[in-house]
């Protein structure tokens, strides 16, 4: 699925986030990037980036992370605390810009004295200093994201990013967000695309786990790197015991091979996993743990020395959005609503009947394409040199395409009637 940021006007948000990341790098490195024309379209003036971020139509938690990460990495940027305070200020006389500015200065002072990354404890300290009510801390353990560790690989070391949070959402709720097919929605505007390559998707069932494998073409925009394309071989699985709610969902991924078919570009190593499990208990009694690990190495050696590049360049925002249900109302599936990940006050219905119809056509088209891919897979298995009886699974999946099309049709007409009802008093 591919997402255009212009539709949601989130490009300014990405430019501001990437700009603050770059501005928080050491001065010598920032100057070098400027000389090499590697700043891209990022807004690196902290005051301008803060102004854009303040008005961005995204959830406040995303803004909080951008400010906390920036000040933690470069405490000297607290000289712009008043501008940053406007980003996270709330409509509360006790927590206005002056209060926030004082809290940000205190946080920067502690970060300068202690050093180190934005750990879960330091993130919690940031929320305390800015007066965030405990009941609003939807991502209690966020970010838990760092890339201080590395793993050895043939051409050097790969940065290892770890991220986790506990949540009251069930595994069934989170399954749709862990699914890589939805990362372009949950991770926008940093994720540009996460699309399965035609003919590579194959379903499986092993014991209590049901899922699929596929090769995805991933497009991501990172600071100082720009848009990159990576081909990932993914396995997605959902574990459900008979008569019980799902207890575990996961997505494992690595660079797809062979390189002659799936060329290696800006990233020479990319491997990891994302999972949600109910076999845990969080610090406030949350019943589900979401955890991710990503090891990555860039082709340009210098990029591997950047602190938190992939972490703050997009990965942690994906995790935050998952904790926020990617903008999906409770009880609804991501594919059933207009994607509003992180958007504040986004309407539940589309703005016009034309949009409803366009959305209907898109969903029907995706269903038909999926139907065709399953048909190709079934034929391929039947005609393979070694007969593969799993063609029956593809045949069953083909039926889901018809179900999906019918469901999209009913949803579309329901929404069209809703729009007509709104216009009833105006005609």
One pLDDT digit (tens) per residue for the chain, 427 residues = 344 444 457 999 999 999 999 999 999 999 999 999 999 999 999 999 999 999 999 988 899 999 999 999 999 999 999 999 999 998 888 888 999 999 999 999 999 999 988 887 888 899 999 998 876 655 545 554 556 677 787 777 887 878 888 888 899 989 999 999 999 988 989 999 999 999 999 999 998 999 999 999 999 999 999 999 999 999 999 998 888 899 999 999 999 999 899 999 999 999 999 999 997 887 778 889 998 888 899 999 888 888 788 878 888 888 888 888 887 777 677 764 444 444 433 333 334 455 556 555 555 655 655 566 666 665 666 566 565 666 556 555 656 555 556 655 666 666 566 555 544 444 4
Distance (Å, rounded) from C-alpha 68 to C-alpha 109? 12
Say if 67 falls within a structural domain.
Answer: yes
Say if 345 falls within a structural domain.
Answer: no
Residues 419 and 390 in one domain: yes
Residues 121 and 215 in one domain: no
Residue 244, domain extent:
146-331
- Of 165, 201, 199, the closest CA to residue 180 belongs to 201
Domain stops at, among 331, 365, 399: 331
Residues 116 and 172 in one domain: no
Maximum C-alpha span of the chain: 73
Say if 283 falls within a structural domain.
Answer: yes
Say if 373 falls within a structural domain.
Answer: yes
Domain stops at, among 116, 136, 156: 136
Residues 189 and 242 in one domain: yes
Residues 55 and 174 in one domain: no
Which residues sit opposite 216 in a β-bridge? 196, 232
Residues 358 and 410 in one domain: yes
Say if 77 falls within a structural domain.
Answer: yes
Residues 302 and 212 in one domain: yes
Residues 167 and 270 in one domain: yes
Cβ-proximal residues to 222 (8 Å cutoff; 6+ apart), any chain: 18, 190, 228, 309, 310, 313, 314
pTM exceeds 0.75, yes or no = no
Residues 227 and 376 in one domain: no
Backbone angles phi and psi of 207, in degrees to 5: 55, -115
Residues 163 and 299 in one domain: yes
Residues 164 and 128 in one domain: no
Say if 50 falls within a structural domain.
Answer: yes
Distance (Å, rounded) from C-alpha 33 to C-alpha 27? 10
CA angle 132–134–139, rounded 5-degree value:
90
Task: Indicate the DSSP class of residue 131.
Answer: T
How far CA 14 is from CA of 57, 101, 401, in Å, comes to 11, 23, 35
Distance (Å, rounded) from C-alpha 405 to C-alpha 58? 31
Domain stops at, among 300, 331, 362: 331
Distance (Å, rounded) from C-alpha 125 to C-alpha 121? 6
Backbone angles phi and psi of 251, in degrees to 5: -140, 115
* Tally of structural domains, the chain: 3
Specify the CATH number for the domain of residue 256: 3.30.530.20
Residues 122 and 163 in one domain: no
CB 153, CB 267: distance < 8 Å: no
Say if 26 falls within a structural domain.
Answer: yes
Alpha helices in 96-194 (DSSP H): 97-114, 120-129, 171-178, 183-186
CA angle 301–232–320, rounded 5-degree value:
85
Say if 315 falls within a structural domain.
Answer: yes
């Amino acid at each position: 699925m591919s997402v255009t940021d212009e539709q949601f006007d989130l490009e300014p948000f990405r430019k501001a986030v990437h700009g603050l990341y770059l501005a928080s790098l050491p001065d010598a490195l920032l100057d070098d990037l400027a000389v090499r024309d590697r700043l891209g379209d990022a807004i690196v003036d902290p005051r301008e980036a803060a102004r854009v971020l303040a008005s961005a139509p995204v959830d406040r938690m995303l803004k909080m992370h951008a400010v906390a990460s920036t000040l933690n990495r470069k405490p000297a940027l607290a000289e712009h605390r008043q501008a940053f305070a406007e980003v996270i200020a709330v409509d509360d006389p006790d927590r206005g810009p002056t209060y926030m500015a004082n809290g940000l200065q205190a946080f920067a002072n502690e970060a300068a004295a202690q050093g180190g990354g934005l750990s879960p404890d330091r993130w919690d300290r940031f929320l305390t200093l800015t007066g965030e009510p405990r009941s609003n801390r939807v991502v209690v353990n966020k970010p838990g994201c760092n890339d201080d560790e590395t793993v050895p690989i043939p051409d050097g070391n790969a940065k290892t990013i770890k991220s986790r949070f506990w949540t009251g959402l069930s595994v069934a709720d989170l399954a749709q967000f862990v699914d890589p097919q939805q990362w372009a929605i949950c991770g926008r505007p940093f994720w540009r695309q996460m699309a399965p390559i035609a003919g590579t998707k194959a379903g499986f069932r092993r014991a209590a786990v049901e899922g699929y494998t596929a090769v995805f073409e991933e497009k991501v925009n990172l600071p100082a790197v720009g848009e990159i394309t990576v081909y990932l071989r993914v396995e997605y699985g959902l574990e459900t015991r008979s008569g019980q709610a799902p207890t575990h969902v996961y997505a494992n991924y690595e660079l797809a091979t062979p390189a002659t078919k799936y060329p290696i570009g800006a990233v020479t190593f990319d491997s990891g996993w994302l999972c949600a499990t109910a076999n845990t208990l969080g610090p406030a009694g949350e019943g589900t743990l979401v955890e991710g690990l990503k090891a990555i190495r860039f082709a340009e050696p210098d990029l591997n020395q950047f602190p938190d590049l992939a972490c703050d360049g997009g990965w942690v925002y994906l995790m935050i959005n998952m904790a926020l249900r990617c903008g999906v109302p409770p009880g609804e599936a991501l594919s059933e609503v207009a994607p509003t990940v992180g958007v504040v006050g986004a309407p539940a219905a589309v703005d016009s009947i034309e949009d409803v119809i366009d959305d209907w056509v898109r969903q029907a088209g995706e269903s038909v394409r999926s139907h065709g891919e399953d048909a190709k897979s079934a034929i391929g298995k039947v005609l393979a040199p070694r007969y593969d009886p799993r063609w029956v699974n593809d045949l069953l999946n083909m039926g889901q395409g018809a179900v999906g099309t019918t469901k999209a049709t009913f949803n579309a007409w329901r929404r069209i009637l809703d729009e007509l009802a709104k216009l009833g008093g105006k005609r």
